[in-house]
Each structure stands twice: as C-alpha cells, then as structure tokens.
Amino acid sequence: MTSSAHGHPSAFPKPGHNHARCTSDALRRAEAVCASRKVRLTEIRRRVLEAVWQSHVPVGAYDILSQLNAGGGRTAPMQIYRALEFLMDNGLVHRIASLNAFIGCAHMGEDNHAAQFLICRSCGTTAELESAPLKRALIQAVAERGFTIDSQIVEISGFCPHCTPKGRT
C-alpha cells in the first residue's frame, strides 16, 4: 500500500493523519530507490526531501532554502535546485508547474509514472491521481491528432473532500 495518508489507496490526505509516518515511509522508500538505482541520497538531498515531505502541500524552493538555513546555515538557492533536480530525475519528487512548487512523489519506485495532481484551493493539500481511464483518454485524444506524446502535466485545482462544503459535489 503506497497511500500518502494511510487510508484507501486513492484517499485524499486527511487533515489529522499521522504525518510523521508519511515522512518516515517516504524516506525509507527513497533510500531503497536510490540503493536500487545506485545513486546517492546525500545529506543535502535527504534534507531537501525531508523538507518537501513536511506536509502534503507543495513547497517552494525558497521555502526549502529558508528551512535549511533556519539554524544559521548558508545553503544557496542553486544547491536546493540541484537537489530537487536529482530528486525529480529519480522519481522521488514532482514539480507542480502551476505553483512553482514541489511535492513528494506518492509512487516512488514506480518508474516513469506520469502523474496527475489534485490541488485543493482551500488547504493547499495536493494528491496524486492515478486514473487509468484518464490516462487512456489522454493518450487516445493525443494520438488522434497525430501528436507524439513525450510528457504531460495535469494539474486540477478545486476543493478537496475535506474542504468541500457539505451538500456540494
């Protein structure tokens, strides 16, 4: 089970969940992925990954920077971006283009998975959506137009189940 909030695999992260577990799970899996790919999860990369996993809300590069430098550090932006690049290259982190921010990958190790994201306008919580029908429809629609797909960004903004006023759907 690879859910990001210990519920049903496709459940949206719940407000009160034990997030420490998300973080520790993520770090353990990241170690495993890096070991199997024979790449190094160095100190700074690990710290950036931890920062990204502080919550299910995407975090900006400069927010990560502030955190790392909170105790008087001298890390430079470049170093953060390099660590993020590494983490993205290895499928550990995703970039949310509409927010210029980054979020931990909920499906580490599943090579090359193309993710879709649900972004709550109210609480900021962002979850991955893995919908096979959606993926199929997308591939189909693109192919019909003679386009060769390379990569895709799907970011859906709205209200998560916990922020949706009752009665609405």
62 near a copy of itself (CB under 8 A): no
Q: Which does 129 bind (CB under 5 to 8 A by kind): DNA, a copy of itself, none?
A: a copy of itself
Q: Give the contact letters, 78-117, x = binds to a copy of itself (CB under 8 A), - = no.
A: -------------------xx-----------------x-
Taking the complex as a whole, how short is the minimal distance between the CB of residue 163 and a copy of itself, in angstroms? 8
Element (H, E) at 129: strand 126-129
Q: Which does 40 bind (CB under 5 to 8 A by kind): a copy of itself, DNA, none?
A: DNA
Taking the complex as a whole, how short is the minimal distance between the CB of residue 8 and a copy of itself, in angstroms? 10
Q: Which does 44 bind (CB under 5 to 8 A by kind): a copy of itself, DNA, none?
A: DNA
**Residue with Cβ nearer DNA (97 or 149):** 97
Measured over the CA atoms of residue 122, residue 128, residue 130 and residue 134, the dihedral's sign is positive
Tell me if 108 sits within 8 A of 26, measured CB to CB: yes
Q: Where are the alpha helices (DSSP H) in 53-115?
A: 61-69, 77-89
Which residues of this protein are in contact with DNA, per CB under 7 A?
39-40, 42-45, 60-63, 74-79, 81-83, 86, 100-101
Burial 108-127 (b: 16+ CB within 10 A, else e): bbeeeeebbbbbbeebbbbb
Residue 162, phi then psi, degrees to nearest 5: -85, -15
Taking the complex as a whole, how short is the minimal distance between the CB of residue 167 and a copy of itself, in angstroms? 11
